[in-house]
Structure 1
Amino acid sequence: MTRLLLVNPNMTCEMTDRLAAVARRAASAGTEIVPLTATRGFPYISSRAESLIAGTIALEMIAEHREGADAVVIAAYGDPGLRAARELFDIPVVGMAEAAMLTSCMLGETFGLVTFTPRMTPWYRDNVVEAGLTGRFVGMRTPPEAVGPVTLVAQTMRDMLLALARESALEDGADVVILGGAPLAGLAETFAEDCPAVLVDPVSAAVRQAETLAKLAPRGAHRGRFARPPGKPSEGLHPALARLIAEGAAA
């Protein structure tokens, strides 16, 4: 049995439910998906500043629930807190954005990204740069603005998002198109026959990579640049996170 924490640092439970349903369809038999939703922060993260705050919340959530877990998926496209989590925790931690991009590079030479609002463009482009994949990236496609509640954009904007995915393939030259953003989880499955590119669902890619890493490297990225720093005291942090930081490298 492999136990994966699906950590959604957004506060919207409907979004977690959607992510968990897609994650369970993608998971292998015998993998348990444990969904978690943030209890503070933002209903939906959509900027660098919100991501920084949400990253701390994600660390708290992992620290509180890590007992018995084999790996973690940070279930927000943009991967808030990903690198810090790899530094702190001795189990593999996977981000949806990084997993989607790396998977795309194994399925084609170039990839594009489609999401539902231009507000995320600067933050999502940062992810490409941080992953060192700008040479494989052909660009982003977004509508002028989101239509309807964020939890319903997969339904209210379906035709528009499909058109953007086709443009990414036919006009930008993307071999692979990522449908980015937690509210779009599962949409790639419904576009498969109508888009002339390979489509990648970020949460599905993240779950499969987390399963693999749990078997290949059960201690996660715990050496080199991700070695845990020495322990130190802190004030005002979530108790579980404070204890972990205080324990430091000896833990």
Structure 2
Amino acid sequence: MRIVVTNCNTTQEMTEEIVRGARAAAGPGTTVTALTPAWGPESAEGWLDSYLSAAAVLDTLRTYDEPYDAVVMAGFGEHGREGARELVDVPVVDITEAAAHFACLLGRRYGVVTTLERSCGQIEDSLETAGVGRNCAAVVGTGLGVLDLGDESRTEEAFVAAAERARDAGAEVLVLGCAGMTGLQRTVGEKLGLPVVDGVSAAVKLAESLVTLGLTTSRAGSYAKPLPKRRTWGPPPGEAPPPR
């Protein structure tokens, strides 16, 4: 089985961290390939970044010509999953909804701990669109930017403080609200005494299950194939984009 994991930003170091977590979760016989968009934001934090990221990820999938069996979209709360489901003919699993579905199996209400507060509303909207918002007790920011997550001790301290707020709001399960937090679940869960779900791992296992069961995206209605028409995706290959 071949799973493609798409980073939502252009930071290669984060792609490498994401793929390490994805490969650790993958079962025997599953290969994981990570894709980093060639353009877009270096970190996705806010609506503008998210829409740019969505277009960049879709463009990356559109131009990737190796065979694969499923896509995992590793941007928490970022846009693009619905477009990807129209675009490709294999299952597409978004880490946001994957983590929430897993959390709903472990407790009545879950809480999401993410990066900056500005991302909280966007994540709430994504959870609502996916149909798993009603079980979310809180989405809490750590105050750290995506590119700050490389400082492990600082990230862990900020995560624990934010997670305590989510627990106080009624969360019985915690969700890592950024792909760059992959790996924290092993240490933070013990400190808080709550299950902690990593979206990358959850999405990989769901993708494997869908492929094993022979299931893929329905083409009846919402995710029908895009209408045939001329679409301009950007400058031709080899041609520089216009100045900003």
Could you tell me the TM-score, scaled by structure 2's length? 0.89
Distance 2:121 2:22 in 1: 27
Equivalent position to 2:171, from 174, 180, 194: 174
What fraction of aligned residue pairs are identical, expressed as a percent? Answer: 32
For 2:30 and 2:71, the matched residues in 1 are separated by 12
Choose which of 210, 213, 217 in structure 2 pairs with 1:213: 210
Aligned partners of 1:90 and 1:219 also within 8 Å = yes
Q: Distance in 2 between matches of 1:147 and 1:44?
A: 8
Secondary structure in structure 2 of the residue aligned to 1:135: coil
Deviation at 1:137, TM superposition (A): 1.1
Find out whether 1:15 has 2:49 as its counterpart: no
Question: Could you tell me which residue of structure 2 aligns to residue 246 of structure 1?
Answer: none
Q: Paired residue for 1:127?
A: 126
State how far apart, in whole Å, the 1-side matches of 2:236 and 2:100 are: 34
Instruction: List gaps (5 residues or longer) in structure 2.
Output: 238-244
Cα RMSD for the two superposed structures: 2.1
* Unpaired runs of at least 5, structure 1: 241-251
Evaluate the alpha carbon distance shift between residue 149 and residue 52 of structure 1 in structure 2; reply closer, same or farther with a 3 A threshold: closer
Contact 1:115 1:181 in 2 (8 A): yes
Q: Distance in 1 between matches of 2:219 and 2:170?
A: 38
Equivalent positions of 1:61-140 (< 5 A) are 61-65=60-64, 67-140=66-139
157, 178, 199: which one pairs with 2:155?
A: 157
1:30-49 correspondence runs (5 A): 30-49=29-48
Structure 1 residues 148 and 81: alpha-carbon distance in aligned structure 2, compared to 1, 3 A threshold: closer
Aligned to 1:222: 219
SS of structure 2 residue aligned to 1:50 = helix
Paired residue type of 1:57: A
1:27-54 deviation per Cα after TM superposition (whole angstroms, max 9, x unaligned): 1011100011111111001112211121
Amino acid at match of 1:69: Y
Deviations 1:149-204 (Å, cap 9, x if unpaired)?
434154322112113223322x1121111011122111112212111221100100
More displaced stretch, 111-120 vs 200-209: 111-120
**Of Structure 1 and Structure 2, which has the larger fraction of its residues in helix?**
1
When the two structures are superposed, what TM-score results if normalisation uses the length of structure 1?
0.87
Displacement, 1:218? Answer: 4.7
CA distance in 1, matches of 2:38, 2:67: 22
Give the SS at the match of 1:140.
strand
Aligned equivalents of 1:91, 1:63: Cα separation in 2: 13
Aligned 8 A contact 2:102 2:202 in 1: yes
The letter for the 2-side match of 1:90 is D
Q: Give the whole-Å Cα distance in 1 for the aligned partners of 2:235 and 2:145.
A: 36
